[in-house]
Amino acid sequence: MSVAEVRLKAQPGLIAVPYRRVSAATLAANVVLVLLGCFFLIPMLWMLFASIDSNPDWAIKLPSPTLANFREVLARPETVIAFRSSLILAGTTTVVTTVLAMLAAYPLSRMHIPLKRPFMLGILFAAGLPVSMLIVPVYQLYVTLGWLDSLYTTALFLAATSLPFAIWLMKNFIDAVPIELEQAAAIDGASTPRIVRQVVLPLVVPGLAVTAIYTFINAWGAFVVPFVLMYSPEDQPGPIEIYNFMGSHGLFKFGDLAVFSLLFSIPVIVLYLVMSRYFSGAFNFGGAVRG
Amino acid sequence: MLTQVRFEGVYKLFGAETAVEDLNLTVEAGEFMVLVGPSGCGKTTTLRMLAGLERPSYGRIYIGDKVVNNVSPRFRDIAMVFQSYALYPHMDVYDNLAFGMRARGAARADVDRRVKETAEVLGLGQLLKRRPAELSGGQRQRVALGRALIRQPQVFLMDEPLSNLDAGLRVQMRAELSRLHRRFNVTTLYVTHDQVEAMTMGDRIAVMNGGRLQQVDVPETIYDNPANIFVAGFIGSPRMNFVPGRMVSDGGRPAVRFLDVTLPIHLTAASTHEAPEEVTVGIRPEDLVWRPAAPPSCTVALPAEVDVVEPMGHEAYVTAVCSGQTVISRFPPRSGVRTRERVELALNPERLHLFDARSGESILLRTPAGEATTPPSTREAWTSDAGKTQPESPDQGEAPSVPVNRPKK
Amino acid sequence: MLAPALALLGMLFIFPVLYSTYLGFTNLELVGSRSHDYSFTGLENVTRMLGDYVFIKSTWLTAVFVLGSAIIGQSVLGMALAMLLRKAVLPIRAVVGSVVIIAWVLPEITVALVWYAFSQAGGTLSLLLRHPDSNYLVLVPMLIVSVANLWRNVAFSMLVFSAGLRNLPTEVLEAAEVEGASAWRRYWLVIVPLLKPTIVTNLLLVTILNLSEFTLIYAMTQGGPGTDTMTLPLYVYQEAFVFNQLGYGTAISLVLVVFGAVFSLLFVRAARTQV
């Protein structure tokens, strides 16, 4: 109760009219929401419970809690390798994508390029193309180049597929920076690279962060591309490891699988929380979603 | 049907902030009540509470004789004109007008008849197929009005409906609204920050400031007998002049000293209330005129030096410095006075207002007969029924407009 | 400055796209004689597709998947969530909102895994439904896969609709309420028409994004049992990399692209007119 309310209550003669605190509609809405929340929570719960269960099964059950699963998974070298691979893959993709997107988005935003409009629309179009169309010829290409089975070359392709949307995101972020600042810098005699580096870049850092995090989250969970372009079992990134685990029925331990999945998912969840806390406008996709 | 609206002990708190404090107000059946005050004074919140879009924190709201606190806006049988008109942008004018009736399940033929009638009254007959985006501001406003009228509700609520119109249109619509009210006679609560609208349109005016009701009365009384400095300064343009003064004793009789003159105050009833020493004297610009052009009632002469002359065409607003105080006076249009000129201003002592310098309350009440009295308790007189003499006084929150002989407390 | 991006895109994006278009009309294979001596075969692949029972089934499955899980499922549930969340008390709003979004942020493989576990014989779903021996992934594979996809993706639609609802003019809705419209009426006659641009945007985006869904389905069922969940993206993979029919596989992917292109163009056209 705020100070004002306390003061008022002390005075005589206040007429308080009882309210139905909560209307039927609001109550129904909240109940439905809780039910829906359960629908979303329950499948996830398996992963949580099975990971700390000493005797897990497919179903959610009350765990006989243990950390043995965690110890086991963390001790295994494959776990570390998988994480390392994913980190390399996602990290390389993110760096390449973000840098190239920034470089490409600046001229698209600021300069008068012929055919800019169709180009931007083409970018949007490209962002929606199914990977399946690209994967076959790229596979062929990689075979010829001998680029198969390498995390770095795979990252290159992932970057290429992430680039259209990243460029679109960055362009919107750069659009939001007032051009007068750059014009002032130009009048002061700064060259274009310097302007970009010292004027635009600092202001666009949130946008860069959003793009980078978005790209990273996508690359971290990437499955198809590494699945096709990498074949040797040593360097497989996380998702492939999990898939392989799933395929070997009965030979694996549910608990370990749950632990590994949980551990693998945590970085992305953390990143998402970071992104939403500090960039609350991010999920307007930079203002892209109009409604 | 004519319905009365009543606020009883209404408060609205937003967290720690009190938007409306202890509101007691009655809008009589068929009355056009203007709720006026500066931004943030609580008038829009009050209106929205009546509409049901906000819930009072304390207190009761009556429409007719029904307590409507728990009644949803849908069932209150009120109509509201929003400041932004709030027309349905995706519907044409016909559907905008028809929406309310259709929502209540009216028959197609009835809807059609009433839409056409309302459109006729408001001059919208040719625009029925247009969308709001294709209409001018004035046309949109009339559609908003039509949407409210068509339902023939018990109460009309209007939230600054004229503030988005340009000046010329505003004057026109003021007259239009008054005409509509005379014709349909629906109880109306009209919110505005423009005191001109308040004075010209209201049967009664309720002045609010800082969440509190300052004074409720007919326009003439609000103008002639403002309850406190705020009301005095808010109503009337140009603003009333306020100068500091002191109550002194002039040969045993009460007098006030200000602007280097001392004027006796004639009281017909012995004051039972201890008058404060420090007072603020209020003089309306039209009561402080250029001596050569002054009517005979302006008996007191004050020397002043002209500071700024603002010719308004039909008159001139002259800012002058008099005994160290800056005052505004209304001069005839072509008086020929110039800056730095020394002039004489004449004051009508019968038209002085006196306010307690600390509380801002008025300490002088003028009856139509020209007598002056000090009310027993100034605060109570204006906002409670403590000083009422008429037994059938309808409600709380009314200032007695004609205080006659007060029984001694 | 554009150069590096263009170079990468050119090599790994535009070139593959163009090459794909060519490849789809050849009889290239991954291994064997045809991996070197392949030739342009014209419309042979097309005829093959039309006579391919699995292709037809796959197209049908894809349509069902996109229509059910995405167009209907995501949009309806996303809108419902957006509307309900507005009325929710703060703790529920925070928790349910977060849970829905976490489902979206999880790597697809994790989603596949938890839903795999959920629908197995002996898994939570079978226990809830009291049929501990039923493996729903085998019994109703398309349903499970569609629901899992919906589960994963609905947050997107929810966010789109939340933004749309927030941008609605409040006074118009208040006016409707004062005029006596019930919640149902307000929703259908005022809110939905005002949300039309958002709804269209959502529909198109959701279609494009879900058309090429691969990981979730493949990880859960590999297209099975049999070919019961073999949507087009999975079929492309199977033909191209399992049966080594690169030419034919690409041809199938081109069909997918045509569908996607149609919807992308619709989206671009709609986005333009909204500006």
- Report whether pLDDT(C116) > 70: yes
pLDDT of residue A282: 41
- Residue B203: inside a domain: yes
- Report whether pLDDT(A286) > 50: no
- Residue B395: inside a domain: no
pLDDT of residue A18: 66
- Report whether pLDDT(A71) > 90: no
Report which of residues B167 and C1 the model is more confident about: B167
Contacts of B59 in chain A (CB under 8 A): 14-15, 17
Number of domains in chain B: 2
Tokens matching residue B47: 């209106």
- Report whether pLDDT(A158) > 50: yes
pLDDT of residue B190: 95
Do B58 and A20 count as a contact with CB atoms less than 8 A apart? Answer: no
Mean pLDDT calculated for residue range C174-201 = 89
Span A16-61, pLDDT tens digits: 766 666 677 788 888 899 999 999 998 888 888 887 777 777 777 7
- Decide: B10 and B59 in contact? Cβ < 8 Å: yes
- Residue A4: inside a domain: no
- Looking at the fold, whether A233 and A90 belong to one and the same domain comes out as yes
- Residue B107: inside a domain: yes
* Nearest neighbour of A136 by CB, restricted to C15, C240, C274: C240
Mean pLDDT calculated for residue range C231-236 = 88
C273 vs B: CB within 8 A: no
B143 vs C: CB within 8 A: no
Instruction: Residue B13: count other Cβ atoms within 10 Å of its Cβ.
Output: 18
Q: What percent of chain A has pLDDT over 90?
A: 4
- Residue A202: inside a domain: yes
Q: Which residues 89-108 in chain C show a CB within 8 A of chain A?
A: 89, 92-93, 95-96, 99-103, 105-108
Number of domains in chain A: 2
- Report whether pLDDT(A2) > 50: no
- Looking at the fold, whether B248 and B193 belong to one and the same domain comes out as no
- Residue B163: inside a domain: yes
Nearest chain C residue (CA) to B157: C178
Helix intervals (H) in B108-266: 108-122, 137-149, 167-184, 195-201, 219-224, 229-234
Select from B199, B224, B249 the last residue of a domain: B224
- Looking at the fold, whether A188 and A122 belong to one and the same domain comes out as yes
List the single best residue of B55, B75, B92, B99 to mutate versus C (max C Cβ within 10 A): B99
A237 vs C: CB within 8 A: no
- Residue B41: inside a domain: yes
B8 vs A: CB within 8 A: yes
Do C20 and A163 count as a contact with CB atoms less than 8 A apart? Answer: no
Q: What is the CATH number of the domain that holds B316?
A: 2.40.50.140
Nearest chain C residue (CA) to A61: C124
Contacts of C176 in chain B (CB under 8 A): 88, 99, 103
List the single best residue of B58, B69, B396 to mutate versus A (max A Cβ within 10 A): B58
Mean pLDDT calculated for residue range A225-229 = 86
- Looking at the fold, whether B244 and B206 belong to one and the same domain comes out as no
- Residue A117: inside a domain: yes
SS3 content of chain C, % helix, strand, coil (to 5): 80, 0, 20
C242 vs A: CB within 8 A: no
- The band of C232, judged by pLDDT with boundaries at 50, 70 and 90, is confident
Quote the minimal CA–CA distance from B6 to chain A in Å. Answer: 14
List the single best residue of A23, A27, A33 to mutate versus C (max C Cβ within 10 A): A33
pLDDT of residue A21: 60
- Looking at the fold, whether A37 and A83 belong to one and the same domain comes out as no
Q: Which residues 60-79 in chain B show a CB within 8 A of chain A?
A: 60, 67, 69-70
- Looking at the fold, whether A178 and A48 belong to one and the same domain comes out as no
* Nearest neighbour of C178 by CB, restricted to B79, B89, B104: B79
- Looking at the fold, whether B80 and B42 belong to one and the same domain comes out as yes
- Report whether pLDDT(A13) > 80: no
pLDDT of residue C31: 66
pLDDT of residue A150: 84
Span C50-106, pLDDT tens digits: 888 888 888 899 989 988 888 899 999 999 999 999 888 888 888 898 889 889 889
- Looking at the fold, whether A51 and A92 belong to one and the same domain comes out as no
- Residue B320: inside a domain: yes
- Looking at the fold, whether A127 and A223 belong to one and the same domain comes out as yes
- Looking at the fold, whether A60 and A200 belong to one and the same domain comes out as no
Q: Which residues 120-159 in chain C show a CB within 8 A of chain A?
A: 120-124, 126-127, 151, 159
Domains delineated in chain C: 59-274 (1.10.3720.10)
- Looking at the fold, whether B194 and B320 belong to one and the same domain comes out as no
- The band of C32, judged by pLDDT with boundaries at 50, 70 and 90, is low
Does an H or E element contain A51, and which? helix A24-51
Do B9 and A13 count as a contact with CB atoms less than 8 A apart? Answer: yes
pLDDT of residue C3: 72
Residues 6+ apart with CB under 8 A from C77: C150, C154, C157, C158
- Residue A210: inside a domain: yes
Span A201-220, pLDDT tens digits: 888 888 888 889 888 988 89
pLDDT of residue B387: 34
- Looking at the fold, whether A198 and A271 belong to one and the same domain comes out as yes
Contacts of C249 in chain A (CB under 8 A): 136
- The band of A135, judged by pLDDT with boundaries at 50, 70 and 90, is confident
A130 vs C: CB within 8 A: yes
Check residue B366 and report its DSSP letter: E
- Looking at the fold, whether B204 and B118 belong to one and the same domain comes out as yes
What was the ipTM of the complex prediction? 0.81
Instruction: Residue B294: count other Cβ atoms within 10 Å of its Cβ.
Output: 19
**Which range (A117-131, A134-148, B335-349) has the least confidence?**
A117-131
Size of interface B-C (CB pairs under 8 A): 65
If you average pLDDT over every residue of chain A, what do you get?
77
- Residue A11: inside a domain: no
Span C119-174, pLDDT tens digits: 887 777 877 787 777 788 888 888 999 999 999 999 989 988 988 898 888 899 99
- Looking at the fold, whether B252 and B161 belong to one and the same domain comes out as no
- Looking at the fold, whether A53 and A81 belong to one and the same domain comes out as no
Q: What is the CATH number of the domain that holds B202?
A: 3.40.50.300
- Looking at the fold, whether B80 and B109 belong to one and the same domain comes out as yes
* Nearest neighbour of C17 by CB, restricted to A101, A133, A221: A133
- Looking at the fold, whether B271 and B202 belong to one and the same domain comes out as no
Domain that includes residue A50, residue range: 23-66
- Looking at the fold, whether A50 and A156 belong to one and the same domain comes out as no
- Report whether pLDDT(A279) > 80: no
Angle at C100 between CA C99 and CA C103, to 5 degrees: 85
Nearest chain C residue (CA) to A157: C12
- Looking at the fold, whether B196 and B286 belong to one and the same domain comes out as no
- Looking at the fold, whether A145 and A259 belong to one and the same domain comes out as yes
pLDDT of residue B389: 36
C194 vs B: CB within 8 A: yes
Contacts of B17 in chain A (CB under 8 A): 4
- Looking at the fold, whether A146 and A274 belong to one and the same domain comes out as yes
Residues in chain B, pLDDT under 50? 269-270, 272, 376-409
- Residue A150: inside a domain: yes
- Looking at the fold, whether B23 and B91 belong to one and the same domain comes out as yes
Answering whether pTM is above 0.90, one says: no
What is the C-alpha separation between B302 and C209, in angstroms, rounded? 84
Contacts of C194 in chain B (CB under 8 A): 89-90
Dump the DSSP string for A63-110. Answer: --B-SHHHHHHHHSHHHHHHHHHHHHHHHHHHHHHHHHHHHHHHHHHH
pLDDT of residue C273: 62
- Looking at the fold, whether B154 and B247 belong to one and the same domain comes out as no
C227 vs A: CB within 8 A: no
Nearest chain B residue (CA) to C181: B103
Nearest chain B residue (CA) to A22: B70
Domain that includes residue B191, residue range: 5-224
* Amino acid found at B23: L
- Residue A182: inside a domain: yes
pLDDT of residue C13: 77
- Residue B11: inside a domain: yes
pLDDT of residue A190: 78
Do C151 and A238 count as a contact with CB atoms less than 8 A apart? Answer: no
pLDDT of residue A1: 44
Q: What is the CATH number of the domain that holds A85?
A: 1.10.3720.10
pLDDT of residue B270: 43
- Residue A155: inside a domain: yes
What is the C-alpha separation between B378 and B390, in angstroms, rounded? 18
Which chains are adjacent to chain C, needing at least 3 Cβ pairs under 8 Å? A, B
- Residue B401: inside a domain: no
Nearest chain A residue (CA) to B15: A2
A265 vs C: CB within 8 A: yes
